[in-house]
Amino acid sequence: QVQLVESGGGLVQAGGSLRLSCAASGRPFNIGTMGWFRQAPGKEREFVAAIRWSGRGAYYADSVKGRFTISRDNAKNTVYLQIYSLKPVDTAVYYCAAARTTYYSGNLLPNNFGSWGQGTQVTVSS
């Protein structure tokens, strides 16, 4: 079982940037794909980005591509989400998720991931 802890959220002005972190723990564990989702009040949880734990595959939702970058540090068991040019519509709770399956494309759904963090709040003011 994988435990995930997000950090790095906060209140920022529109146009600003933020770097979210997700630390994974639990040994032994197998991770195929790490992902980020977000959920705004009254809305469904939506896919943001995902990255394979090995190899070079990274996938993004169309709505964030170009502004969001997902990366990882395998030695630290940590995945990051670098966000630039934040917009008020980016305001949401951002969740880190882990899947045993190695996915080779985007179009991922919450139920594709079996482990979740507690979420970190990102609020963008205008």
Contact 72, 79 (CB under 8 A): yes
Average pLDDT, the chain: 94
66 Ramachandran zone, left/alpha/beta (phi>0; psi -120 to 50): left
pLDDT at residue 6, as a whole number: 97
At residue 27 the predicted structure's pLDDT band, cuts being 50, 70 and 90, is low
Tokens of 100: 């045993």
What's the whole-number mean pLDDT along residues 13-42? 92
Q: What 3 state SS string does 33-72 have?
A: EEEEEEECCCCCCEEEEEEECCCCCEEECCCCECCEEEEE
pLDDT at residue 28, as a whole number: 57
- 1 has pLDDT over 90: no
pLDDT at residue 50, as a whole number: 97
Name the percent of the chain lying above pLDDT 90.
86
Tokens of 62: 């169309």
Tokens of 89: 């519509």
At residue 26 the predicted structure's pLDDT band, cuts being 50, 70 and 90, is confident
Contact 38, 94 (CB under 8 A): yes
CA atoms within 13 A on the CB side of 81: 34
Contact 32, 24 (CB under 8 A): no
50-108 confidence digits (pLDDT tens): 999 998 899 999 999 999 999 999 889 999 999 999 999 999 999 999 999 999 887 89
13-24 confidence digits (pLDDT tens): 999 999 999 999
